[in-house]
Structure 1
């Protein structure tokens, strides 16, 4: 699978830009702040309905504009599709596939698939649990686009349950009447049912990712492993089936209800879980060196790429200003491992930051102008 044409309107710094793309390597080169990352960010948005740089859509719309358009032609084998997203901050986004407007934004998931390397990836190792949960859930959705609906359902139920708990907590603190919490049992069941599905998918993903990540780390830092991925649930119980996971979530929610009412927030569920990354016998967070942390983060991305490729639809590989962050050895190893990808998009400040093995098309990016050399 590869993108053959990218079109942007009022996205980030671009009033409008048209970029034809070829298979193989394409590098966008130019000084920082000129719009290179905006191009690959747009491709990533089509794949995930989100940005790797910001948590909301508002910054994606050019200042002064009401909306942004991201459009791409995508080829998979002999099949070609046109996919378009209209980004409307504060309102519902819109989507079109092959000019049809009768689709939801999440219906475009799976048409474009990406694996993105970026300086922000260091947060996978050094950052908060939310970074690792996001990594797992985006990869789950890339493997199975239907999981976007499961994630959306979980977020909706969690929000409703938290609203009820917060109201109960406020009433209690201010000496008001006790709220009727009989509906909390129903929300518990909904949360546990959808949460069990999400939990099962995460555990399945980790089992598939573990050997690939260990292999990738050895390729990047020979003799530096082994590494291990350990899921740490907020509702322990060791369930293996979805029904067992449902029961362990229900048990956890029942056991901590008093604390939840006191604090006004849901304290157990996939939204509170973590992925513990171990290097040897120690957790990477807090113990791994800067170079080891970078190798770990890269290994997770390489494992994601290998997993998606093995499952039949090779993703677009995006290397966003990552080579400038790496020492010479890691730079060369990473470039050698990804050079044969069906489509590799690279951003760099100068040509020297692009390893020689990544030969291909070059675009100069300056002040919002994208020109092929």
Structure 2
């Protein structure tokens, strides 16, 4: 899979730009603030309908414009499709394939698959649990786009349930009885969609684990593939079976555990006015060390270099897992080489150089390792020129 042509209208700093792209390695080189990252961000947006840099769409629309358009010709298995998304902050976005409108913009998710490496990846290791949950969910959606709807449904139910819990604390008499009856309805919805999301995350973590060990061994000096581990820690009392030879819990077992834990925590939830059980409270535990007795959490114990290696390994593992699914994702290396020492630059470059399409951004050409010297575009003053 690769992008053959990218067109932007009022996206970020670009009023209009057209870029022809080739398979293999392409580097966008330019000083900070010139718009090189905006180009790869647009391609990544087509993949996930979200940005790896900001949480909302509004900053993606050029100042003074009402909407932005991202359009790309994507080649897959020798066939070309034109994907387009229209960003409308405050209103529903719209998407098209070959100029035919899609019922929902999110139906575009997963048609293009991207894996992005960026300086912000350090937050996967050093940030709060929400960063790691988002990492899992984004990978989950790339593998199976229908989970975009599951995640959206879960967020909607969670928001409604939290609102009800806040009102329950002060409710009395018949109004309290009515609120508790309504809570039972929201409990059922939370359990249904939450169990589906939890089950999918557990399977994903188990699938990702062996790729992580292999990737960490490749990028960390002197490491073995058993040094880096992940384990999914659920807020419902189920066994964390990642890396175990035991069978994963069934959907029925997860659902039963969810039901019991919600009932046990109901008083706490009403007192605090917030949902305390569910995938939104879960954690992806990252540990590092030779042997179980020496294993420690990466956050708070790993050195800066070890943390960077772990973050890179998470991205590489994602890439390898998607490839194992039968697709070759587009790799985006966004200003990542400036953050790495020479050895890690060379290691990472060697591992990804064989991808069908690699898009690199760098402030200066010297930051791009020799293994990734391909087509170069110079980005300056709103113009993108092929060298």
Report the TM-score, using the length of structure 2 for normalisation.
0.93
User: Any idea what SS the aligned residue of 1:103 has?
Assistant: coil
Partner residue of 1:309? 323
Equivalent in the alignment of 2:93: 93
Cα distance in 2 for partners of 1:330, 1:169 equals 54
CA distance in 2, matches of 1:16, 1:171: 56
Q: Deviations over 1:294-346 (max 9, x none)?
A: 00000000010011011111100000000000011101000000011100000
Q: 1:15, CA displacement in angstroms?
A: 0.7
Q: 1:270 aligns with which of 254, 279, 289?
A: 279
Secondary structure of residue in 2 paired with 1:183: helix
> Does the 8 A contact of 2:94 with 2:102 survive in 1?
no
Q: In structure 1, what is the equivalent of residue 243 of structure 2?
A: none
1:237 is aligned to 238
The one-character-per-residue Cα deviations of 1:68-119 (angstroms, maximum 9, x if unpaired) are 1111111101221111111111111111111011431111112110000000
Alignment of 1:80-159 (within 5 A): 80-159=80-159
Aligned to 1:293: 307
Say if 1:61 and 1:176 are closer, same or farther in 2 by CA, change over 3 A: farther
Q: Could you report, residue by residue, the CA deviation over 1:239-258 in whole angstroms, capped at 9, with x for unpaired residues?
A: 70111111111111111111
Q: Distance in 1 between matches of 2:105 and 2:199?
A: 25
Give the structure 1 partner of residue 245 of structure 2.
none
Give the structure 1 partner of residue 186 of structure 2. 187
2:363 equivalent to 1:349:
yes
Quote how far apart the aligned CAs of 1:156 are: 1.3
CA separation in 2, counterparts of 1:205 and 1:121? 19
Question: Which of 254, 257, 275 is the matching residue for 2:263?
Answer: 254
Cα deviations across residues 206-259 of structure 1 (Å, max 9, x unaligned)? 111111111111111143351110111111123701111111111111111111
Q: Which of 276, 282, 288 does residue 279 from structure 1 map onto?
A: 288
SS at 2:236 equivalent: coil
2:65 aligned with 1:65, yes or no? yes
* Runs of at least 5 residues in structure 1 that lack an aligned partner in the other structure: none
Q: Could you list the per-position Cα deviations for residues 122-174 of structure 1 after superposition, in whole angstroms to 9, with x for gaps in the alignment?
A: 000000000000000000111111111111111111111112112223557xx
Could you say which residue in structure 2 is the equivalent of 1:227? 228
The equivalent residue for 1:198 is 197
* Cα distance between partner residues in 2 of 1:264 and 1:72: 45
Q: Secondary structure at the match of 2:59?
A: helix
**CA RMSD in angstroms, aligned pairs only:** 1.5
Which aligned segments of 4 or more residues in structure 1 are displaced greater than 6 angstroms?
Answer: none
1:102 and 1:341 mapped to 2: Cα distance?
30
Contact 1:97–1:103 (8 Å) recurs in 2: no
Give me the whole-angstrom Cα distance separating, in 1, the residues matched to 2:381 and 2:283: 41
Matched-pair contact (CA < 8 Å) for 1:110–1:142: yes
Q: Distance in 2 between matches of 1:41 and 1:304?
A: 18
Query: Following TM superposition, by how much is the alpha carbon of 1:277 offset from its aligned partner in structure 2, in angstroms?
Result: 0.1
2:292 is aligned to none
User: What residue in structure 2 maps to residue 216 of structure 1?
Assistant: 215
Whether contact under 8 Å (1:96, 1:103) holds in the other structure is: no
* Count of aligned pairs: 371
Distance apart, 1:283 and its partner CA:
0.5
**Aligned residue number for residue 77 of structure 1:** 77
Q: Which runs of 5+ in 2 are unaligned?
A: 240-247, 290-294
Q: Indicate whether 1:362 and 2:376 are aligned.
A: yes
* CA distance in 1: counterparts of 2:335 and 2:350, whole angstroms: 17
Task: Give the Cα separation in 1 of the matches to 2:133 and 2:273.
Answer: 22
Counterpart CA distance in 2 for 1:223 and 1:204 is 30
Q: Which residue of 2 aligns with 1:338?
A: 352
